[in-house]
Amino acid sequence: MAKDGKIVVDKSFGTQDKNSSEKVKWTDLYDVASLTKVTATLPLLMLEVDEGKLQLDQTLGEIDNEARNSNKSSLKIREVLAHQSGLKPWIGFYNETVNVKNARLYLDYYSRKQDDEHQIKVTDNIYIINSIKDTIYEDIYKSPLGKKTYEYSDLGYYIFKKKLEKDFGTSLNELVQEKFYQDLGMYRTTFNPKEKFQLKDIIPTEYDKTYRNQLVHGFVHDQGAAMMGGVAGHAGLFSNSIDLAKLMQMYLNGGEYGDEVFLQPETIKEFTKQQYKGNHRGAGFDKLASGSAKGPSAESFGHTGFTGTMIWADPKYNIVYIFLSNRVNETVEPNYLSIKKVRENIRQVIYDAILP
């Protein structure tokens, strides 16, 4: 937790793995799951707004040629970011490539060794066919649309990743490092962390019994992101609490950090405000349905991640709160972290401590 730009609490608890005695360290890298949306993809989209390359009320058809020829053509970027576009919540892309009952990989798609046809690394001994990315996008473009009511979806972020990489001419990983992480001092934030860090510095996630049939350690937990080679718009980022606090403090500072301007304050305000009545989401960011006199304000914003993560910032009280865990290492379902509201209850303790 940070208040007024200063770290007030920074504590680590427990062990890295349920079968390990290795204590958690503050430097350890966690798979932050959907925090990737607002810590990698979203800052780059905001940068594009600042540079006049993007407007929130543009349509997917205007920013993506293939979307133009699909039923996604007229969907507004604002609607997609607020999860009010009718996009399906999720597509299990891996289901057609594996026998999920026994996690047997179909040889039409996979190889145990990297070769010309199988360049995409899913994990150390699993490589997927290069054409799978085209298949994933085709599945997204062909997917049916639902009603334009709030329903959380990953799918738009695949399209945003493609647009960003096309506009800037480099991969999402390299792009966000160059534009944000390096100058923010986020030296322990990256996609595909095994390429830069030792395994002992990376927190293990789930023992995957339906797809990779092994402990997922140093590779992204999300199957769709894994099939994209570990770099995706919706998931794949690994980080620690200090690095994420720097990024969230930059948002709180109106786009400035360490005497450097990263984003314009009006752009951050536009993305972090509630976008539609009856839908609590901002443009990408999560928000509360309403502010509370004894809790987070109506201006506050953040996000949660499936692996057991949360980031939150409150401009009214100048608070940053980061919670990282690997709750999927214990059990994916039931999700006790959500059922018992652990992240939210800790957040409330912060407000109880500072508010009269």
Structural domain total, the chain: 1
What is the tens place of the pLDDT at every residue in 293-351? 899 999 999 999 999 999 999 999 999 999 999 999 999 999 999 999 999 999 999 99
The whole-angstrom separation of Cα 67 and Cα 40 is 22
The predicted model scores a pTM of: 0.97
- Cα–Cα dist 135/325, whole Å: 32
- Domain of residue 173 covers 2-354
| Average pLDDT of the residues of the chain | 97
Residue 185 burial (CB count, 10 A): 13
Task: Encode pLDDT of 152-168 as tens digits.
Answer: 999 999 999 999 999 99
Determine the Cα–Cα distance for residues 76 and 174; give it in Å rounded to an integer. Answer: 27
> Which pLDDT belongs to residue 337?
97
Residue type, 298: A
Return d(Cα 198, Cα 180) in angstroms, integer: 23
CATH number where 298 lies: 3.40.710.10
pLDDT at res. 291: 73
What pLDDT is stored for residue 100 in this prediction?
83
C-beta of residue 171 within 8 angstroms of C-beta of residue 179 = no
Quick one: pLDDT at residue 103?
87
- pLDDT means over runs of 10, the chain (356 residues): 96 95 96 98 98 98 97 98 97 95 94 98 97 98 97 98 97 98 98 98 96 97 98 98 98 97 98 96 94 90 98 97 98 96 97 93
The DSSP secondary structure of 226-261, one letter per residue, reads HHTTS--SSS-EEE-HHHHHHHHHHHHTTSEETTEE
